[in-house]
Amino acid sequence: MTTKKFSKGEAIRFGWNTMKSNLVFFIGLFIVFGLLYIVPSIIADMALEANIFLVVFHIADFVLTIIISIGLLKIALKFSDNEKGRFSDLFSQYRLFFNYLFALILYCLIIFGGMLLLIVPGIIWGIKFWFFGYFVVDKGLGPIEALKKSSAITKGHKWNLFVFFLMLGSI
């Protein structure tokens, strides 16, 4: 695999320009995304008395959150390929649910293990495997393959990615 140069500034410019040129879409996406998270929490607050309903509701909310996360990755990938995202993309990749879920569980276990080893390994491994979701969604890879691909593409770029994530967090 050839090593490509990673430009933090170029990545931020691309994201900013993409957002500006698709502002109406992103505002609508933000509203839909917000409603999909606000409405369930309101229902959960109202359902505190009905324990079984609350359990079922939290499971459904978790499933919906995973499906929307997959959809957001699909939208991000479309924009990175200079295609337009659509609201229907939020739910179009539901068939990847289990691959994404298992990869996410493995990712979380890896991070947890790293955090037990005095935090720094957890941060390094978090960056190393951060892109697993993109490989599940874009390439249809299984959990292990997606984590391996993420590891491969971040090799030699972890410090730049760490700084990039800090930059994004400050915006």
List, for residues 53-77, the tens digit of each pLDDT value: 777 777 888 898 899 999 999 999 9
Confidence of residue 110 (pLDDT cuts 50, 70, 90): very high
* Whether residue 5 has pLDDT greater than 70: yes
Do 86 and 128 lie in one domain? The reply is no
Taking 80 as the threshold, does the pLDDT of residue 146 lie above it? yes
Q: Is the pLDDT of residue 49 over 70?
A: no
Q: Report CA Rg, the chain.
A: 18
Mark whether 75 and 101 lie in a shared domain: no
Share of the chain above pLDDT 70, in %: 92
Q: In whole angstroms, what is the distance from residue 17 CA to residue 22 CA?
A: 9
- Among 90, 106, 129, which residue terminates a domain? 90
Asked if pLDDT for residue 162 goes beyond 80, the answer is yes
CB-based contacts of 128: which residues, under 8 Å, 6+ apart? Answer: 150, 151, 154, 158
Q: 79 and 122: one domain?
A: no
Find tokens 């500034």 and name the residue: 9
Same domain, 68 and 100: no
Amino acid 39: pLDDT: 77
Question: Which pLDDT score is estimated for 57?
Answer: 77
Residue 2 has pLDDT above 60, yes or no: no
Burial zone of 92 (CB within 10 Å; 0-12 exposed, 13-18 middle, 19+ buried): middle
Instruction: Specify the pLDDT at position 130.
Output: 95
Dig out the tokens for 78 from the structure.
Answer: 């479309």
In terms of residue numbers, what domain contains 31? 8-90
Beta-carbon count within 10 A of 138 CB: 19
pLDDT band at residue 100, thresholds of 50, 70 and 90?
very high
The per-residue pLDDT for range 17-34, each reduced to its tens digit, is: 998 998 999 998 888 888
Mean per-residue pLDDT of the chain: 87
Confirm if 70 and 94 have CB atoms less than 8 A apart: yes
What is the count of structural domains for the chain? 2
The confidence score (pLDDT) of residue 150 equals 96
CA 12 to chain centre: 17
Residues 25 and 60 in one domain: yes
